[in-house]
A = this chain, B = another copy of it.
Amino acid sequence: MLTQTVVRSAALRFGPPSRMVPVMPRAEARPAFGASDRAGSLDRTMRLMGTVISYPRGAEVFGEEEPADYIYKVVSGGVRTYKILGDGRRQIGAFHLPGDIFGLESGDKHRLSSETMADTRVLVVKRSALNAVAGRDASIAQELLALTSRQLEHMQRRILLLVKSARERVATFLVEMSERSPQSNTVELPMSRQDIADYLGLTIETVSRTLSYLQCSAMIEVPTSRRIVLRDRPALDHMNG
């Protein structure tokens, strides 16, 4: 009962950051968590108060249990948050794309670790500074609250996702990604199959097979392993609920 791939997990999955990969070309994806970009004062404030830091692919931005002193916004590239489970498996909390704000824990410690999925630039803002501004500027406080609220909603959807079948999970994931994508029907995946599997609570093999199935069923096309074209959105939507 899940004695499973501790070796595979530890040895293969979390090896040293491998070779470089071109930074994702996606310009400004619609964020899942971040304030929408045209929006507002929060974005401006963060740009004013923050510093942009560049990380190579596979770098750790923050670790689990570290004090949550900063708030982050992806400028370019991509970040995944994750947690290593007792049995060596990895559960991914979220994928953060350009425009997304992350590291917004309600406590004072990070509950997840985070690392880059590609060469990534991140805007870093001191939490205390942002809180100070929020104390003075209600619209900032409101935006921060809205962010937290959106995260809660996302977790709620996530819970609903995890009780569904593999096909539904993968289909939902693709639709979700496409909604964050600039081109509505083509999804450029910044993450590996292993990342997707750990996000959906499946194995890479099941993810791969499911994608093959969706392709055979003409719901999607997979021109390259990291690019997926949604061919039959209604059918994919239908697998959600």
Contacts and interface: CB of A to CB of B under 8 A. Distances in A.
Contacts of A39: none
B1 A160 contact: no
A241 B165 contact: no
Nearest to A200: B163
Interface residues of A, number: 32
A215 interface: no
Contacts of A223: none
Contact of A152 (B2, B152, B160, B241): B152
Nearest to A87: B241
Contacts of A163: 89, 91, 162, 201
A87 B159 CA distance: 16
Contacts of A240: 86
Copies in the complex: 2
B162 A1 contact: no
Contacts of A216: none
Nearest to A239: B1
A190 to B, nearest CB: 21
Contacts of A165: 1-2
A238 to B, nearest CB: 9
A195 to B, nearest CB: 14
Q: Which 7 A-B pairs have the closest CB atoms?
A: A86-B241, A163-B201, A106-B149, A162-B162, A155-B155, A85-B241, A106-B152
16 contacts: A1-B165, A1-B167, A2-B164, A83-B160, A85-B241, A91-B160, A106-B145, A106-B148, A107-B153, A155-B155, A155-B156, A155-B159, A158-B159, A159-B159, A159-B162, A162-B163
